[in-house]
Every structure is written in C-alpha cells, then in structure tokens.
Amino acid sequence: MQQDSDRPRIVFMGTPDFGVPALRALHAAGHLISLVVTQPDRPKGRGRKMVSSPIKAAAESLGLPVFQPDSLSNAEAVDRISAVSPAFIVVIAFGKILPKPVLDIPRYGAVNVHASLLPKYRGAAPIQWAMLNREKETGVTTMLMDEGLDTGDILLVSRTEIRKNETASTLHDRLSAMGADLIVQTLRDLASGIISPVAQDPGKASYAPMLKKEDGRIAWQKSPEELEAFVRGMDPWPGAYTTMSGKRLRIFRLAPAERTENQAPGTVIQGFPDELRVATGTGAVSILEVQGESGKRMPVAEFLRGKPVAAGTVLGKG
C-alpha cells in the first residue's frame, strides 16, 4: 500500500449534494484528500437555523479536514490551499469562480466535473436546460479549468440517454453517480499521462443560466410535448406552476391529451370526470399530479374530489 507521502494530494471543492458521490468515490479509491473546501454554513428554513452543506457533512463523516472561506480571492484562502501542495484540485459545483491564483496552485491542474456534454450547456443549470430543450442525450464532462465559465479543455466524457419519464431530479442523481466514476478515472489517467486535453469549440457552445423561481411559471401557449418536458425539467427546482382563481397550483406531472374544444391556451376543457384537461397552443394536456397552495402533493383525481374545476376556467391568470 502506498504511504501518504507517495500519494498525490487532492483538494476537493464542492457544495451541494451533486458532488457527494464523487467525494466518497475518491476517498474509497484511496486518494489522499488533504482538504475539502466548501461554502460557509447558511441559515435555512423558518427558524433560520445554520445548516452545513452536503459536502461538509460528507467530509466530516469521512474524517476529512474542512475549510469554509467567505472568499477565494484573499490571501488566507490561497495560503491555506497552497499549504497542502496539491497535485489536483477537484471542483464539482462549488458555487464560486476560482481566481487564477487558486487555479495555478495544483501540479496537474484544477479538474472540474460538469453535468453536460461540453461545450453544450455551460453554466449553472445544465441538467434542467437539457431537459427543457428536449435533448435526447446528455452526460458528464471532466475538464481542466481556466478562468472562463466552463471553457477549459475537455479531458473525458461519459454519455447517457435522457429517459422518457425522467425528471431533472432523477437525472441529477444519475449524472452525479456517473461523475463520481468519471473523476476517479480522470485523475488516474491524468497522473499517468494518457489523457490528451482537447480544446472546446466555442462555435458549438450553449449556455444554461441559473433558474429563478418565476421561471417555473407555465406558458400554456407551448405545445403539449414542450409542456411535458418543461414540467419534468423543473422538478424539483424551481417547480412548474400555474395559477387558478388567483392561487398558485404546482404541477408535477402532465401528459399530452386530445383537444376536444377550440379554446384559448390555459382554458380547462371537457374531459373525463376525474380529469383536468387544459387547452395548449397546439393541442391539450391532461394534468396528472398537483399541489395546491396550502395542500399536499396528490393525484389530480383526489384534488378534484375536494375542489372541482369547471370547464371554461382559465389557468394562469393573475
């Protein structure tokens, strides 16, 4: 077994749960993770209780040292990371841009795991945007980081089909596991000198900006197929929603349906007794699962038993 002095040191940087499988995989593979850098604890919930990031919780469970700087641009942060003398910095959804003094620290470079097939979907929300745009395929990419936004040279790629009924949540979990496998392979191959980094083609680049809460509002003028992909892509954040009688109605599942009336998009049209069928831009959809403003998530048939919705009701007004 290699002594610690013979193993390349790693600084791992991440914050949300997307990076947890990778941190655990690197630890299980015997890598020497000398420092885990994550965002400071934040207040959360109604009680504003301070909560640690998923990466911090995972690091502490593995007995790894944790560093939570407010900024990476100050001398303290650079000195703390430099003191480790890392061969690699591994970055997975850290949440802040790494300044050049940090990028220059590791011997082999800073390696990022990104949840898209770069150069497509650079940015903060690649999983959601791939689903919103009805892509057939996505994946994870490892790259050598530079000062741009996901613009570094590509190292390795792992591809997967986007499944028919997949949500952004389930795809997130699958890509997280794929990323864990890919980063272990990437570090091994980089240290062995068998990877040839490939520059990204900027002409093929697209961007996936961070989503805001209001981005989940349903535009009923879209086609049934677009709306079905939209609802799946917005699960769990920011959540697809519309309004009914001035109150928010969260929608978790819907499916294309026959349009029996020529009504404006967003209008409830006649369907089966336990169905909520809505006209769209080029057809209709049947809403399958909902949550009222102060209720719980439930099948639409159960929702309608407590709150019938008349044909002619217009969703999305106000």
User: For position 119, what pLDDT does the model report?
Assistant: 98
| Bridge partner list, 12 | 36, 90
Domain span at residue 166 reads: 4-204
Helix residue ranges, H only, 29-106:
54-61, 75-82, 100-103
Does one domain contain both 189 and 248?
Answer: no
Does one domain contain both 149 and 222?
Answer: no
User: For position 234, what pLDDT does the model report?
Assistant: 98
Q: Measured in whole angstroms, how far is the alpha carbon of residue 213 from the centre of its chain?
A: 15
Which H or E run contains 158? strand 154-161
Task: Indicate the residue among 151, 174, 204 that finishes a domain.
Answer: 204
CATH at 200: 3.40.50.170
Does one domain contain both 112 and 13?
Answer: yes
User: For position 266, what pLDDT does the model report?
Assistant: 97
Task: Indicate the residue among 160, 178, 204 that finishes a domain.
Answer: 204
CA distance readout (Å), 102 to 13, 24, 90, 251: 11, 23, 12, 43
Residue 18 identity: F
Task: Indicate the residue among 186, 204, 222 that finishes a domain.
Answer: 204
> pTM value?
0.94
The span from the CA of 183 to the CA of 92, in Å, is 10
Coil, helix or strand at residue 37 = strand
The span from the CA of 177 to the CA of 171, in Å, is 10
Report the candidate in 112, 110, 97, 132 with the shortest Cα–Cα distance to residue 18: 112
Does one domain contain both 148 and 275?
Answer: no
Q: How far apart are the first and last CA of the chain?
A: 66
| Number of domains present in the structure of the chain | 2
Local confidence pLDDT in tens for the 318 residues of the chain:
455 656 889 999 999 999 999 999 999 999 999 999 999 999 987 788 899 999 999 999 999 999 999 999 999 999 999 999 999 999 999 998 999 999 999 999 999 999 999 999 999 999 999 999 999 999 999 999 999 999 999 999 999 999 999 999 999 999 999 999 999 999 999 989 999 999 999 999 999 999 999 999 999 999 999 999 999 999 999 999 999 999 999 999 999 999 988 999 999 999 898 999 999 999 999 999 999 998 899 999 999 998 899 999 999 986
User: For position 306, what pLDDT does the model report?
Assistant: 86
The span from the CA of 83 to the CA of 115, in Å, is 30
Residue 137 lies in a domain: yes
The span from the CA of 22 to the CA of 16, in Å, is 12
Does one domain contain both 112 and 184?
Answer: yes
